[in-house]
Amino acid sequence: MGTKMNDSQFVCPWWLCYSFDNPLRKWLHNPEAILGPYVRPGDTVIDIGAGMGYFTIPLAKLVGPAGHVTAIDVQGKMLAALTRRAERSGVSKIITPYLAGPDTLGPHSPVHFILAFWMVHEVPDQQRFLSQIAHLLNPAGHLLIVEPLMHVPLKDFSYTLQAAQHAGFEIRENPKIRLSRSALLRRTVDSI
Ligand SMILES: C[S@@+](CC[C@H](N)C(=O)[O-])C[C@H]1O[C@@H](n2cnc3c(N)ncnc32)[C@H](O)[C@@H]1O
């Protein structure tokens, strides 16, 4: 099941994302508990594959008015819903929604932290994608990749981590996140 973007890419359909935002998810994936250790007031952040903003809005609250969050997605409908939610939550001034093309994430200034939550498995060319991500991160910045256990077998997650290492990342830790495989990565000194 998925929305066809082109011959090789299927993405999570916009209507399915509504089912991601419910009280059970808050128990499974508490955004403040997951992101709080990595994000400080005043930080700049990219939420890649932001969907309807389940993590974007808490990220905006964590960075506060001195910080900024860019929410990137390939589906305009996701970003439209995210924008409405950001307005209702009073954080729309801190968030810039950005509609990416299937092959390019767009030009963005490097940030302190990038979140890729349950989205990398939807990207057809992960090597290219992770190389692009590396250029969007400050030298001391961190990338948190989280993938769904039910869709991403261990061998596929290992492939993603190998691709990340080829793109110049090293693994710092594997945070425990329910129903997920995850890795916190930082750029290697050689890649900077
Ligand atoms: C399963 S949803 C997860 C949404 C959100 N991260 C969350 O956890 O609620 C995956 C999202 O990634 C987006 N996506 C897929 N490929 C992408 C790409 N190459 N660049 C940006 N967004 C992408 C999809 O459009 C979809 O909104």
| Residue 8 in domain | no
| Residue 19 in domain | no
> Which of 25, 55, 74, 114 has most ligand 1 atoms within 8 Å of CB, for mutation?
74
**DSSP character at residue 107:** -
| Residue 2 in domain | no
pLDDT given for residue 25 in this prediction = 87
pLDDT given for residue 186 in this prediction = 97
- pLDDT tens digits for 104-126? 899 999 999 999 999 999 999 99
| Residue 123 in domain | yes
pLDDT given for residue 1 in this prediction = 47
**pTM of this prediction exceeds 0.85:** yes
Number of domains in the chain: 1
- The set of protein residues with a Cβ atom below 6 angstroms from ligand 1 is 11-12, 17, 20, 48-51, 54-55, 72-75, 78, 100, 117-119, 122-123
| Residue 12 in domain | no
CATH number for position 60: 3.40.50.150
Q: What is the rounded distance in angstroms from the CA atom of residue 46 to the CA atom of residue 59?
A: 9
pLDDT given for residue 24 in this prediction = 82
Distances (CA, A) of 131 to 13, 126, 135, 144, 158: 26, 8, 7, 15, 17
Q: Starting at the edge strand that comes first in sequence, how are the strands of the sheet with 169-173 ordered?
A: 95-99, 68-73, 44-48, 111-117, 137-148, 180-187, 169-173
- pLDDT tens digits for 47-105? 999 999 999 999 999 999 999 999 999 999 999 999 999 999 999 999 999 999 978 89
| Residue 16 in domain | no
Domain coverage including residue 90:
25-191
- pLDDT grade, residue 2 (50/70/90)? low
Distances (CA, A) of 55 to 73, 98, 124, 129, 182: 13, 15, 23, 20, 15
| Residue 168 in domain | yes
4 has pLDDT over 60: no
Q: 10-19, 95-104, 155-164, 170-179: lowest mean pLDDT where?
A: 10-19
pLDDT given for residue 23 in this prediction = 76
7 has pLDDT over 80: no
| Residue 3 in domain | no
Q: What is the rounded distance in angstroms from the CA atom of residue 143 to the CA atom of residue 145?
A: 6
pLDDT given for residue 116 in this prediction = 98
The CA 53 to ligand 1 mean position distance, Å, reads 10
